[in-house]
Structure 1
Amino acid sequence: MKLLTAFNYKKSHLLILLLFSLLLFHKQALIAQDQVQIIPQPSSISYGNGSYELGDKVNIQASEDLENEVQFLSALLEKGFTKTPKLSKKKKGIVLTLDKALKNELGEEGYTLSVKKKGIFITASTATGVFYGLQSFRQLLPVDFEFHKQEKAIEIPFVEITDKPRFPWRAFMLDVSRHFQGKEVVKNILDQMAMLKMNTFHWHLTDDQGWRIEIKKYPRLTEIGSKRKDTQLSRKSEERVGKPHEGFYTQSEIKEILAYAESKHITVVPEIEMPGHATAAIAAYSWLSSMGLPQEVSVTFGKLDDSFNIADPEVVSFLTDVLDEVINLFPGQVIHIGGDEVNFKPWEDSKIAQNFMQKKGLETPIDLQVYFTNQISNYIDSRGKRMMGWNEIMGTDIHEDNGETKAEAKQKLANSAIVHFWKGDLKLINEAVAEGYDVVNSNHWDTYLDYTYERTPLSKSYAFNPIPEGLNEEYHSKILGTGAQMWSEWIPTVASMQQQVFPRLAAYAEVGWTALENKDFQRFEETMQLIKQRWEFMGIRFYNGN
């Protein structure tokens, strides 16, 4: 009887220990889950029992061809530990590995991140994937790591992350034409994009209110076109700011920014507007005008009257000359030509344009635009690049009331063009992909950052799905992704720009990266509190409402 009692006691004791261990394990797992908060949300996260102690004596071991990533990691660790980590040949500490076999599973941007007893291991098929793994690792560190010296080692929970993006095109557009922003502002934006795994910087460089890129063959574009006398104070207002506005990037500065973007694995897509939004260029060279009138760089915003006289071969040659310098500067594969909001009346009133249209068998001004756009597309193709433009380039007038159109082009857009959807009935996306075009979906109601938070709250930004509801699954791969657009007509300062961009940029980052089944707005909002703390340390102004 005593033996039985003792046995029962031991059994009960073991059961209690087992339950305690399970509770401890569960508690540690929950702690780990609380600590692993990453935006954009990774594809999968599993949690271990325990943590890795990261201290100032940690070593880095890396595959060849990862010098850029090693430099980024070293600089990151030095900020917190005030000590440069050593490089080691031993596979312990923080290990960065290239494994081409992962490409089939994770593509060129995916990665695995493993934190375990022997160290932190980031593996990918390319340097880009390793870089994104480092961005996730960065968010595992305390939010003040990069801004205050760490007095003790950091506990990073054991975790296994496997991750890859939903879309290959995850873009942010900055309009520097309406209000010029210097190169340091652009670099800061690139920093934030990199942290959020956004890979495309769409740079809106020319418009009616300013030409911001140096073109050496045509110096008056910046001598005259980069300066305006004043600025409209508010929409449809006769009031003016009362002072001139100017600025442009030299080609040397652009090369510096491009090198910086490359180090962040960000491709820069320049936008050179044509055939509309041309007033600043016409102010510099009046012979470019469709109206045949001299112009000044516009001090007002909106859809203006004049455009390039694309019926004149010399004007087309001017534009290809400009594109030559742009193509020689920008290493990316895509050149954006805008193509939106063209006022057709000057072409309707121009004998030159009408004679040209009759000679070419072009029935409407929309046909003339598509004809010209194809000329430019073919030229860009011949230079080994690819043309992109807002969805007017397909030949549909999207500016009539209720989305109805008064005319459709009979000319067909070049097959290689990328259609950047921003306005009109969503059926236009269906038509574009069915005709074989690649599409970037930037529907303005969902992605325009100049819109107020009342019109486009954070929840709406987060809920945006670049693949329209009902689109046949066979065409899903034709949706390359999305872009968030920061138009700057009414956003004159860096502070006002930042407040419009942040925190919505993080929502668009997750739209572009995270699989639908992994999206959760409540979880996103909770993790955003950490990102906002980082932004506070960085001195970034952000909107803190709903």
Structure 2
Amino acid sequence: MNHQKSFLPYPSNGIRLLKGSFIFPEVLTIAFQDSCFPERAPFFQEYIRGALGMEVVLGDESNNPVLLVNEKNDVLDEEGYLLEVTPVGCTLASGSWRGIFTGLQTYIQLAKSNKTLQCCKISDYPALSWRGLMLDVARSFCPLEELLGIIDTMALYKLNVLHWHVSDDQGWRFPVDGYPALLSEKHGYYSKEEISYVVSYAENRNIMVVPEVDMPGHMIAALSAYPNLSCTGGPFTIPTGEGIFRDILCVGKSETIVFAKKVVDTLCLLFPSPYIHLGGDEIPLDRWETCPDCQHRMQELGCRDEKALLGWFCNEIASYAREKGKSTILWSDYVDASYDSTIITQVWNPLLGKHRRTHSDRQVIKSDYFHSYLDMSYALVPLSRVYRYGKTVQKDTKRNKKVVGAELLLWTEYLDTREKREAHLYPRLLAGAESFWTKDPLLRYSRFKRSLEHVMKQVLGKQSGLPEPSSWDPLLLVQCKERRARRKRVNRNSKEAGITL
């Protein structure tokens, strides 16, 4: 009955142990007090049944339910909850269904850990409001079943944002009306119906799906289908692996602006999230320098250079999205004071100057390359480094109220199988989940490591992951060289894309 080993993330207010114990019956009865959240009751019943593999029935509070759910409006945070285990049953309270759902994850992990529970009280709420995973399905397609499994794991560990990277140079994964050639049966894509299912599936699990279509760069997949949207007219071959490619959207052409806005229309139609991510990273501007259409557009607008033209394009599309009720997120590469102040920046490059990293005048999402890129090896981004990153971001939120949270990123240029993706996700996803949720004073890496083996095996059915290198490991010299090489690579790629370091 050691609750410290029972679940992740650890509660932000800790656990208050009480006298007595509770034994789970064969049939779990749930009741919703005073009909609170009635529309969620059937879903919760099925969700618990699937999670625990036991019979679950809906009852009422007069029949001594095993789990009593009630609405408690003095739980201030929308995702906060109160969970109490007594000898006769358990109560779960929150002011919103989101809080009830996050508390339900704690309840499920407790139930999976042991059929006999020591009585306790848990008061819990998140440290960060934005706790995300970016999943790149453009470089390597992620089948629907695997994607839903990732969402389930995110929900269990209280992550609440799926940043869905659905287009890049290497692939375009969703339909846009009027542009059928974007899709490839051979390489995979998601239909409108499948996207709607994913969005609904995630929403039921307290996860907001934020789509990303990277523009005007990272567009070779689209240009190969519609070369008229480029500066040169192609032809183009869809690349494999990583890279920065010089062919980008030609923003001097009216048809390109029509296309970009049509993409926004589609994202607004398919994704109810108030946010859309429009990329805006790693954009070489060489083609625009010699493109008559882009130069003409610059003259019309009075742009001093190609970077000003890029700013105009980003502001134009962000403004269009805002008219449709969406806030735009951009990678922070080029964002400066000339960009619309409502644009949210996602900071990934730690090598940019300090004033470029903080963006104190706009909202910020943190995803530091050397701490959150899960496609990198455990030697470069070890478990402990991911765990520490949450502590760092929490401190950032105290210094800058515009920092809304953080994401872990899984790019898939070289992760082309489920086995590879899972090996890079787990257990680092759990380290990020705890350090994004649990308040800094209660974050303990030693406790997390003790919990990890139990949680990975009992809850996820996986091994605990790779051992971390010790200080005397002779491979550390190699790892240091790899880190220096990565740093040089970030510098080189940034300069190729015209990013000032």
Q: Does the alignment pair 1:320 with 2:320?
A: no
Per the TM alignment, residue 61 of structure 1 is displaced from its structure 2 partner at its CA by 1.0
Change (3 A) 1:189 1:469: closer
- Bigger drift between 209-218 and 333-342 goes to 209-218
Q: Secondary structure at the residue paired with 1:141?
A: helix
- Bigger drift between 333-342 and 526-535 goes to 526-535
Q: Does the alignment pair 1:544 with 2:477?
A: no
Q: 2:26 aligns with which of 53, 56, 64?
A: 56
Contact 2:45 2:56 in 1 (8 A): no
Question: Identity of paired residues, percent?
Answer: 29
Q: 1:72 aligns with which of 32, 39, 44?
A: 44
Contact 1:499 1:541 in 2 (8 A): no
In structure 1, how many angstroms separate the alpha carbons of the residues matched to 2:191 and 2:217?
24
Aligned to 2:335: 394
Q: Does the alignment pair 1:425 with 2:398?
A: no
Aligned to 1:195: 156
Q: Secondary structure at the residue paired with 2:272?
A: coil
In structure 2, how many angstroms separate the alpha carbons of the residues matched to 1:541 and 1:377?
44
In structure 2, how many angstroms separate the alpha carbons of the residues matched to 1:471 and 1:58?
43
Q: 1:264 aligns with which of 186, 201, 205?
A: 205
Q: Which runs of 5+ in 2 are unaligned?
A: 469-501
Aligned to 2:476: none
In structure 2, how many angstroms separate the alpha carbons of the residues matched to 1:492 and 1:441?
26
Q: Does the alignment pair 1:97 with 2:70?
A: yes
Per the TM alignment, residue 358 of structure 1 is displaced from its structure 2 partner at its CA by 2.6
Q: Secondary structure at the residue paired with 2:333?
A: helix
Matches within 5 A, 1:273-422: 273-395=214-336, 412-422=338-348
Cα deviation per residue 1:378-398 (whole Å; 9 max; x = unaligned)?
A: 011000010001002404xxx
In structure 2, how many angstroms separate the alpha carbons of the residues matched to 1:348 and 1:491?
35
Q: Does the alignment pair 1:135 with 2:105?
A: yes
Aligned to 1:204: 165
Aligned to 1:527: 451
Cα deviation per residue 1:347-390 (whole Å; 9 max; x = unaligned)?
A: 11212212222332222222111111000110110000100010
- Corresponding letter in the other structure for 2:292: K
- Corresponding letter in the other structure for 2:220: T
In structure 2, how many angstroms separate the alpha carbons of the residues matched to 1:181 and 1:248?
9
In structure 2, how many angstroms separate the alpha carbons of the residues matched to 1:350 and 1:88?
70
Aligned to 1:25: none
Change (3 A) 1:533 1:265: same
In structure 2, how many angstroms separate the alpha carbons of the residues matched to 1:81 and 1:357?
62
In structure 2, how many angstroms separate the alpha carbons of the residues matched to 1:43 and 1:50?
21
Per the TM alignment, residue 317 of structure 1 is displaced from its structure 2 partner at its CA by 1.1
Q: 1:44 aligns with which of 14, 19, 38?
A: 14
Q: TM-score, normalised by structure 2?
A: 0.87
Per the TM alignment, residue 535 of structure 1 is displaced from its structure 2 partner at its CA by 5.1
In structure 1, how many angstroms separate the alpha carbons of the residues matched to 2:287 and 2:263?
23
Per the TM alignment, residue 37 of structure 1 is displaced from its structure 2 partner at its CA by 4.1
Matches within 5 A, 1:153-302: 154-222=115-183, 226=184, 246-302=187-243
Number of paired residues? Answer: 464
Contact 1:357 1:363 in 2 (8 A): yes
Contact 2:365 2:403 in 1 (8 A): yes
Q: Secondary structure at the residue paired with 1:392?
A: coil
- Corresponding letter in the other structure for 1:522: S
Q: TM-score, normalised by structure 1?
A: 0.80
Per the TM alignment, residue 280 of structure 1 is displaced from its structure 2 partner at its CA by 0.7
- Corresponding letter in the other structure for 1:481: G
Contact 2:374 2:409 in 1 (8 A): yes
Q: Does the alignment pair 1:500 with 2:500?
A: no
Per the TM alignment, residue 155 of structure 1 is displaced from its structure 2 partner at its CA by 1.3
Change (3 A) 1:362 1:41: same
Contact 2:7 2:106 in 1 (8 A): no
Per the TM alignment, residue 289 of structure 1 is displaced from its structure 2 partner at its CA by 0.4
Q: 1:441 aligns with which of 361, 366, 380?
A: 366
Contact 2:278 2:329 in 1 (8 A): yes
Aligned to 1:114: 84
Cα deviation per residue 1:185-239 (whole Å; 9 max; x = unaligned)?
A: 11000000000000000100001111000112211111xxx37xxxxxxxxxxxx
Contact 2:127 2:394 in 1 (8 A): no
In structure 1, how many angstroms separate the alpha carbons of the residues matched to 2:454 and 2:335?
43
Change (3 A) 1:271 1:69: farther
In structure 1, how many angstroms separate the alpha carbons of the residues matched to 2:147 and 2:158?
16
Change (3 A) 1:311 1:179: same
Per the TM alignment, residue 89 of structure 1 is displaced from its structure 2 partner at its CA by 3.2
In structure 2, how many angstroms separate the alpha carbons of the residues matched to 1:275 and 1:101?
46
Per the TM alignment, residue 466 of structure 1 is displaced from its structure 2 partner at its CA by 6.8
Q: Larger relative CO (CA 8 A, sep 6+): 1 or 2?
A: 2
Change (3 A) 1:469 1:486: closer
Contact 1:52 1:157 in 2 (8 A): yes
- Corresponding letter in the other structure for 2:88: K
Aligned to 2:94: 124
Per the TM alignment, residue 445 of structure 1 is displaced from its structure 2 partner at its CA by 0.6
Q: Which has the larger radius of gyration?
A: 1
- Corresponding letter in the other structure for 2:466: N
Q: Secondary structure at the residue paired with 2:151?
A: helix
Change (3 A) 1:521 1:259: same
Per the TM alignment, residue 92 of structure 1 is displaced from its structure 2 partner at its CA by 4.0
Cα deviation per residue 1:62-86 (whole Å; 9 max; x = unaligned)?
A: 1432543553355434765642334
In structure 2, how many angstroms separate the alpha carbons of the residues matched to 1:470 and 1:110?
20
Contact 1:78 1:85 in 2 (8 A): no
Per the TM alignment, residue 481 of structure 1 is displaced from its structure 2 partner at its CA by 0.5
In structure 1, how many angstroms separate the alpha carbons of the residues matched to 2:46 and 2:418?
30
Aligned to 2:481: none
Q: Does the alignment pair 1:452 with 2:413?
A: no
Change (3 A) 1:71 1:466: same
